[in-house]
A and B are shown apart, each in its own frame.
Chain A
Amino acid sequence: AQSVTQPDIHITVSEGASLELRCNYSYGATPYLFWYVQSPGQGLQLLLKYFSGDTLVQGIKGFEAEFKRSQSSFNLRKPSVHWSDAAEYFCAVGADGGSQGNLIFGKGTKLSVKP
């Protein structure tokens, strides 16, 4: 069965520092992968998604993620973190490998930003 692991429950970075949030997935074929962000009291907002093609995906708010099949990873990166990036980040994989159907989410990584 498909699954998503986010090894880091909580990460703290300084404002202006770089960020990498880890995501590992378990899926037999080429997965559909997503990163969502959830701010307190807000709904989930899509940052970026990977379906096929270029393995380096650009998203909103300056985020990018790289799909590495050999490592079953889809890590999220940002070169310089802003205080407004403090939120919870969820990695997800399409359950049936397609773009429709339900998503399977990781448990999330909470990002704190210190001034």
Chain B
Amino acid sequence: GAGVSQTPSNKVTEKGKYVELRCDPISGHTALYWYRQSLGQGPEFLIYFQGTGAADDSGLPNDRFFAVRPEGSVSTLKIQRTERGDSAVYLCASSSMLPGDTQYFGPGTRLTVL
């Protein structure tokens, strides 16, 4: 596609439920990033993929959060036993491996945990 797409655009769930957020990167981009943006804050890094493998998952807040990218393209961020504090906009970005290339961001998924 022309840009990074994320689905759903909005997700409302109840505390304790499981959610999956999807990111479809720009075609050919090998690097994929997940960030979380809470209200009034800048995006905070969660996890970074190079191809199929997680190159850096140091930003995942706890073991309820997990992400996969099985074929090196689409990625899914999975959150188990959601808590109200997980409410935020989840942003995905992708980039090539060319030196100096930009991270291109998707529109985000707004997650609300009731």
On A, residues with C-beta under 8 Å from B are 4, 34, 36, 41-46, 49, 51, 90, 92, 95, 99-108
Contact = CB atoms under 8 A, between A and B. Distances in A.
Contact of A102 (B56, B99, B102, B104): B56
Contact of A43 (B59, B101, B108): B108
Contacts of A106: 42
Given A43-B4, A102-B59, A95 B45 contact: yes
Contact of A107 (B40, B102, B106, B108): B40
Among A42, A43, A49, A104, residue most surrounded by chain B Cβ atoms (within 10 Å): A43
B43 A105 contact: yes
B45 A99 contact: no
A99 B43 contact: no
Given A99-B100, A101-B48, A43 B106 contact: yes
A43 B102 contact: no
Contacts of A43: 3-4, 91, 105-108
Given A100-B95, A102-B48, A107-B41, A51 B56 contact: no
27 contacts: A34-B102, A43-B4, A43-B91, A43-B105, A43-B107, A44-B91, A44-B105, A45-B105, A46-B102, A46-B103, A49-B102, A90-B42, A92-B42, A95-B45, A99-B99, A99-B100, A100-B95, A101-B48, A102-B35, A102-B45, A102-B48, A102-B59, A103-B33, A103-B45, A105-B43, A107-B41, A107-B42
A100 B48 CA distance: 10
B42 A101 contact: no
B44 interface: yes
